[in-house]
Amino acid sequence: MNGFVGALLRKLAGLIPVLLAVSLATYFLIDLVPGDPAAIMLGANATPEQLDVVHDELDL
């Protein structure tokens, strides 16, 4: 049983850097997308007031 626990702990320890790398890559790729997220959500006919509301709601 001890070998199983050791193998499980090694697998879990290897999973941590992978999850960290995927999280960071996702964050930076989303940050690199061009354009205003509020304008994309509301479409081309959005008024400046609507954009302001969405900016406030999303803390943009």
Alpha-carbon gap, residue 26 to 33, rounded angstroms: 11
> Residue 33 has what pLDDT?
85
Q: Residue 39: how many CB atoms within 10 A of its CB?
A: 14
38 neighbors 55 (Cβ within 8 angstroms): yes
pTM exceeding 0.75: no
Render pLDDT for 4-59 as a digit per residue (tens, 0 to 9): 999 999 999 999 999 999 999 999 998 888 888 899 889 889 999 999 999 999 88
Which residues, in sequence order, are CB contacts of 37 under 8 Å at separation 6+?
Answer: 58, 60
Sketch the domain layout of the chain as residue ranges.
2-58
Question: CA-to-CA distance for 55 and 41, rounded, in angstroms?
Answer: 11
Residue 46 token pair:
């959005």
- The pLDDT score that the predictor gives to residue 54 is 93
